[in-house]
Amino acid sequence: MKTLQASILVIHVICGFTALLSGLVPMIARKGGRLHNFWGLVYYWAMFGVFITTVGLFVLDPLSLKMQFFLPVAVGSFYQTFTGKRILLRKKSETPPARLDWAAMYGVSFFGLVTLAWSIQRFMVQQPYQGILFLFLTALCLANGWNDYKVFSGRVQPQRMHWFFTHLGRMLASYAATLTAFLVNVGPRFLPADMPSFVNLLLWVGPGVTVGFFISRLTKQYRKKMGLTAPSASATPA
């Protein structure tokens, strides 16, 4: 069992570093160009590898609090990567979501409820910082699921260039999750052993909040450049 766990962990680390490095290229390369598309695909499959190996590590040690934290990060971040890629198949607003899109949306929403249960359990055992962190991860999953449900069900009509802003927001948000995982694993090694719990909480939440602010500013710039004033609900990064 330990050999299997160690093997999966090695693959997980390789996929994680691949995602961390390859994800930078599409950000700086010409949008839609060869470099953007190639390294974007590398990033996608690296994130898929991170997702699969995280699930595997969780199955081998489901009672580990560490894995209970990392599992929703992997689920939420790959959902963002998955939908960020899938939206390119639905550039035309009249193109309906496929069954796979619906299944993924319901899946991430259900897992958000699982994470909510973990959050409640942490509060019940007097571990508020962990409970808050689980709430943050719950929001990651449920917000993505709810945003997509509104679009899939027709409650919100996507506007012009909706696919561009959805792709931009989801991919950057998924990279924030990758950065979070890196900081949470590496950061504590350079910090005092008796550091306050809120510092660890900042390592988990900080990258998401920072990148979220960056996505908001970048989206506004692109909307202004394209002459779009009203925000597109389908493009809301979560």
- pLDDT at residue 231 in the model: 54
Task: Please list the ranges in the chain whose pLDDT falls under 50.
Answer: 232-238
pTM of the model: 0.86
Full DSSP string of 144-207: HHHHHHHHHTTSS---TTHHHHHHHHHHHHHHHHHHHHHHHHHGGGGS-TT--HHHHHHHHHHH
C-alpha 216, offset from chain centre: 16
For residues 131 and 74, give the distance between their C-alpha atoms in angstroms, rounded to a whole number.
18
- pLDDT at residue 229 in the model: 66
User: CB–CB of 208/180 below 8 Å?
Assistant: yes
Each residue of 127-182: pLDDT tens digit? 888 899 899 899 989 999 999 999 999 898 877 888 999 999 999 999 998 898 88
- pLDDT at residue 2 in the model: 84
Surface-to-core class of residue 146, CB atoms within 10 Å of its CB (0-12 exposed, 13-18 middle, 19+ buried): middle
- pLDDT at residue 130 in the model: 87
User: CB–CB of 179/20 below 8 Å?
Assistant: yes
- pLDDT at residue 14 in the model: 96
Lookup result for tokens 């963002």 = 80
